[in-house]
Structure 1
Amino acid sequence: MHSSIFNCSYLSIFCHLSLIFLMLGYEHWKGQVLTADELHVLYEGIKLNNVNQYDYVLTGYTRDDSFLDTVVDIVQELKRENPSLEYGVYNKAVTYYNVMYVPENLLPIYRDKVVPAADIIKVSVLLCCSEKDAVEAMNLLHSMGPDTVVITSSDLPSPLGDQYLVALGSQKIGEFDFISTQVGAQCNETTVLAMLTSYFSSSLIAWGGMACEKTVSVIHHVIKRTINYAKEVAGPNRKPSPAQLKLRMVQSKADIEDPAIVLNAVGL
């Protein structure tokens, strides 16, 4: 499972995690995949302890339809407890280079239940023909419910050069009005980028309205510190290992809490 529930009454990245993250970048991993029944039992325990007051919920990749249904049921119950709760959905991509990334039987659930329940949608990869196509895709998602849509990377060329990924975001500010922005993030290590997708989501949902510039700037600082450290430890002309590329998040605490803005959003 690749999901998290955040218990954050204070705007902070360092908050209590009720569930776990899967570490990326390593060749092997073992462990159980949580079932829908097990998730339900876990949530019932949270309720019995009266610690089910959440401000934010963030969920990620799911491969089982009953599990995904249970996630939506829990989110809807949490929203009844706290109507101001924000639900963020992170998914790498429903399709990736014309190959289904999630089981096909999950698509109706994402379309009919997950997206309408979400306040924020974050897609890691969008393969589109143009910037116009990306904006149309974000507007389509807006029409299904979410107020905020973010594409953390795309295949669009960056005016800053091929070392930069183009991220796009759109926020609904009225019934028919949207603000769309584009911002570039520099990244030259694929392994680090893979590990950062989940962290991007948590940072995004925590920073709220200032998310685009602050989130990408935080990611920039974490990437830079991580890669510099990994290269130093690995030694000259040696490729860093996944262990050496573990994100330097603790060391980046000051940047996470008060990031210097190094990349600015551009209105589309």
Structure 2
Amino acid sequence: MSFWPFFSFSLVKSQWNPIKRLMSNSASIIKELEKTPNRRVLSIQSHVVHGYAGNKCSVFPLQLHGFEVDAINSVQFSNHAGNIEYLTLPTRYQHVKGQRLTDKELDELYEGLKLNNINKYSHVLTGYCGNVTFLQKIADVVKDLKNNNPNTRFFCDPVMGDNGRYYTPQELMPIYRDIIVPLADVLTPNAFELGELTGIKIETEQDCLKAIGILHQKGVSTIVVTSGVTGAQTSEFLRCYASIRDGICYRFTFPRLQGQFVGTGDVFASLLVVWLDALNGNIADAVRRVLSSMQLLIRRTSEFAQSEVDSNSQRMCELRLIQSRKELLWPDESIEANIIVDEM
């Protein structure tokens, strides 16, 4: 399936007005916070003791929106291992200590859930996975959950790398491509990961849309390309793409903010779980709300980092997640969204 830009228009933004009215009414806010969506998520991702990455990023937004979360940590590290550069200041942590969960340990944990008949989930969310056998075991877990409940939704962030390079073992790619992707209901690759999964170098919007079509053919119903389509962005703005299998694709344009921060993709995926559920699968409005929260979170983090730039401290590049809880609940910025229609 291929996509071609046939026409575009800005989505109606009237749905943002009720959110603003809600923020001015304390009684309504309390009522909103008391909502219980009756959803339970199994989140299999990395974990850090200090700072934000993996489950440390995903669990809080989900719980904030009323989701129950059972977390399995693929790794448990003292801090993230990312090599982030902010301005000209290197902020890589000098040391990373911790443990990695094995496929046998994951199997044991899941067996405990099964024996107690508590392996009941509305959603599965997966992120960083460090080795092939662990990723294969995740596939077994997802298959079992879907066999028990076909309505279980599998959200997969196929974490492999970014900006043209791998930061996980390259051997993970064929496992994602051949085993994990066909199981996924929602996939959130960046442009590099999209290219690796499809064999297409993603440089332009048309490259991106062609690759999205290939993944739809593998059975993925919803795909969100979070970042990295270099030919479709500028020094002032970035773009994200979301597509559903019936041929409708959306382009989202938003400002490029200063700084790069570990964990943004993990927050993105968790908020996508929330809003796709709350909006009954309306991908356009869901991604708009996710991106709006992400813009507010990154802006707050960037402003803090700039204020601390002289301290030469790694902590200045950690996400200001807790400080942004209001923005995680009630995004208050609109994001431009254009429809791209398949001419075929």
TM-score range, shorter chain: 0.7 to 0.9
Cα deviation digits, residues 169-218 of structure 1 (max 9, x gap): 1112xxxx22111213433112x2x3211111111122113321011111
**Any residues of structure 2 matched to 1:1-268 within 5 Å, and which?**
2=46, 12=65, 15-20=68-73, 23-24=79-80, 25=82, 26-27=92-93, 28-93=95-160, 97=164, 99-126=165-192, 128-157=202-231, 161-172=234-245, 177-185=246-254, 186-190=256-260, 192=261, 194-208=262-276, 209=282, 210-232=285-307, 234=308, 238=310, 241-268=313-340
Higher relative contact order (CA 8 A, sep 6+): 2
Q: What TM-score do you get using the length of structure 2 for normalisation?
A: 0.66
What secondary structure does 2:180 align onto? helix
Q: Tell me by how many angstroms 1:16 deviates.
A: 2.3
1:20-53 CA-to-partner distances (Å, cap 9, x unmatched) read 4765345232111111001111112223343321
1:11 and 1:243 mapped to 2: Cα distance? Answer: 23
CA distance, structure 1, for counterparts of residue 103 and residue 326 of structure 2: 38
Structure 1 segments unaligned to the other structure (5+ residues)? none
Partner Cα distance (2:229, 2:311) in 1: 25
Aligned partners of 1:79 and 1:203: how far apart in 2? Answer: 22
Q: RMSD between aligned alpha carbons?
A: 2.9
Separation in 2, partners of 1:130, 1:9: 33
Could you tell me the TM-score, scaled by structure 1's length? 0.83
Identity of aligned residues (%): 30
Q: Distance in 1 between matches of 2:104 and 2:212?
A: 34
Determine if contact 1:166/1:183 at 8 Å carries over to the other structure: yes
Deviates more, 1:117-126 or 1:203-212: 203-212
Higher-Rg structure is 2
Report the count of equivalent residues.
256
Counterpart Cα distance in 2 of 1:9 and 1:162: 32
**Structure 1 counterpart SS, 2:107:** helix
Q: Is the alpha carbon distance of 1:248 and 1:100 closer, same or farther for their aligned partners in structure 2, counting shifts above 3 Å?
A: closer
Q: Distance in 2 between matches of 1:105 and 1:228?
A: 38
Q: Gaps (5+ residues) in structure 2?
A: 1-44, 47-53, 83-91, 193-200, 277-281
